[in-house]
Chains A and B, each alone.
Chain A
Amino acid sequence: SYELTQPPSVSVSPGQTATITCSGDKLGDKYASWYQQKAGQSPLLVIYQDSERPSGIPERFSGSISGNTATLTISGTQAMDEADYYCQAWDSDTEDVLFGGGTKLTVL
Chain B
Amino acid sequence: QVQLVQSGAEVKKPGASVKVSCKASGYSFTGYYMHWARQAPGQGLEWMGRINLHSGGTKYAQKFQGRVTMTRDTSISTAYMELSRLTSDDTAVYYCAREPGGIIVDFDYWGQGTLVTVSS
CA A42 to CA B112, docked complex, whole Å? 6
Closest to A34 in B: B106
**B106-A43 in contact (CB<8A):** no
We find that the number of chain A residues with CB closer than 8 angstroms to chain B is: 23
Rounded to whole Å, the gap between the CB of B39 and the closest CB of chain A is 8
State whether A96 and B106 are in contact (beta carbons under 8 Å apart), knowing that A43-B95, A102-B44, A102-B45 are contacts in the complex.
no
In the assembled complex, B61 has its CB within 8 A of some CB on chain A: yes
* Bound complex: CA A48 to CA B104 (Å): 8
Q: A89's closest neighbor in chain B, by CB?
A: B105
Q: A95-B59, A97-B50, A99-B37 are in contact. Are A43 and B44 (CB under 8 A)?
A: no
Interface residues of B in 91-108 (CB under 8 A from A): 95, 97, 103-108
Interface centre among B44, B45, B50, B61, by most chain A C-beta atoms within 10 angstroms, is: B45
Which residues of A sit under 8 angstroms from B73, Cβ to Cβ? none
Evaluate whether A98 and B47 lie within 8 angstroms (CB atoms) in the complex, with A31-B104, A43-B95 already known: yes
Q: Tell me which residues across on chain A come within 8 A of B61, comparing CB atoms.
A: 96-97
Taking CB atoms and an 8 Å cut-off, the chain B residues in 105-120 that contact chain A are 105-108, 110-113
Q: Do residues B108 and A45 form an inter-chain contact, with CB atoms below 8 A?
A: yes
A90 close to B105 (CB less than 8 A): yes
Whether A42 and B111, one on each chain, are in contact in the complex, defined by CB atoms closer than 8 angstroms, is: yes
Residues 77-108 (chain A) with a chain B CB within 8 angstroms: 84, 86, 88, 90, 95-102
Q: What 3 A-B pairs have minimum CB-CB distances, sorted nearest first?
A: A90-B105, A33-B106, A97-B47
Q: Which residues of B contact A (CB under 8 A)?
A: 35, 37, 44-47, 50, 59, 61-62, 95, 97, 103-108, 110-113
- 27 inter-chain pairs at a CB distance below 8 angstroms, sorted by A residue, are A31-B104, A33-B104, A33-B106, A35-B107, A42-B111, A43-B45, A43-B97, A45-B106, A45-B108, A48-B106, A48-B108, A49-B104, A84-B44, A86-B45, A88-B107, A90-B105, A95-B59, A96-B47, A97-B35, A97-B47, A97-B50, A97-B105, A98-B47, A99-B44, A99-B46, A101-B44, A102-B45
Q: Which residue numbers of A lie inside 8 Å of B, CB to CB?
A: 31, 33, 35, 37, 42-45, 48-49, 54, 84, 86, 88, 90, 95-102
